[in-house]
Amino acid sequence: MGFTFKAFHISDEGLGMPVSTDGVLLGAWAPLDGAQKVLDLGAGSGLLSLMAAQRSNAQICAIEIDSAAARVCRDNFAASPWADRLKVIEADATRANALAGEVFTHILCNPPYFETGPLSAKPGRAQARHTGSLGFDALCTLLARHLSPGGSASLILPIESEPSFMRALTDCPLGVTQRVEVSTVEGKAPRRLLYALGHHKEGTPHCDTLAIRDTNGEYTARMRTLTQDFYLKL
């Protein structure tokens, strides 16, 4: 099982963590210009790390709490063209010594966001999808702790999670610098939000919109431009 991009193959080996549009969007959109040291927070099978490796010359650290996912992530890294710039830490990122106080110029996170609803029967999948494993307060604390003063963090959330996330940001030194509303089809209400965060608490974020498909079901020109360096066929 897996998914093949132009430059690498992602295997999930039964983890129940297939390549998602959310992950591809975040990995293609994240503002990585000038990134030297990247953290992939809750890496899963390593998709975001591999996309960051393709888009930059940064050293990339992936941290993953689930043992099975961490093993698959290592295998995916080893099979990629950028194995020398990728490493995996199997640990709970919320533990104070997990990253030994390291700071990063960019942090990527496709965080768990299902605050209610049934848990998956697969423990790793449940951890990856529900905020019980990494709530927004803990996430914001981690981002603030490990983001360098001039760095940025990127994440994607369902639009209904925005109030909870913004409440968590209230007591955090980080602020939103970019906000993109993502709709599945042009003219439809947005379903996802792409955020960039930085050490800029005040000021108005740059706001934008993105539609994945047009009303004929084809990928929009913007979506094609954003992701064309990854997909074999789009």
The answer to whether residue 81 sits within a structural domain is yes
Domain harbouring 64, CATH code: 3.40.50.150
Rounded CA gap, 23 and 113, in Å? 13
pLDDT digits (tens, 9 = 90+) for 177-212: 999 999 999 999 999 999 999 998 777 899 999 999
The answer to whether residue 30 sits within a structural domain is yes
The answer to whether residue 232 sits within a structural domain is no
Mean pLDDT computed over 228-233:
86
R_g (Cα) of the chain, nearest Å: 17
Which domain, by its residues, includes 48? 2-227
The answer to whether residue 133 sits within a structural domain is yes
Alpha helices in 148-197 (DSSP H): 162-169
Mean pLDDT computed over 142-154:
96
The answer to whether residue 189 sits within a structural domain is yes
The answer to whether residue 60 sits within a structural domain is yes
pLDDT digits (tens, 9 = 90+) for 9-58: 999 887 777 788 999 999 999 999 999 999 999 999 999 999 999 999 99
The answer to whether residue 234 sits within a structural domain is no
Q: What is the DSSP letter of 133?
A: S
86-90/59-64 β-pairing: parallel
How confident is the model at residue 127, as a pLDDT? 46
Mean pLDDT computed over 149-170:
96
pLDDT of residue 123 exceeding 50, the answer is no
Rounded CA gap, 214 and 43, in Å? 31
How confident is the model at residue 16, as a pLDDT? 74
How confident is the model at residue 157, as a pLDDT? 96
* Number of domains within the chain: 1
Phi and psi at 138, nearest 5°, equal: -65, -40
Rounded CA gap, 199 and 174, in Å? 5
pLDDT digits (tens, 9 = 90+) for 81-118: 999 999 999 999 999 789 988 999 999 999 876 444 34
The mean predicted confidence, pLDDT, of the chain is 89
How confident is the model at residue 96, as a pLDDT? 79
The answer to whether residue 233 sits within a structural domain is no
3-state secondary structure of 125: helix
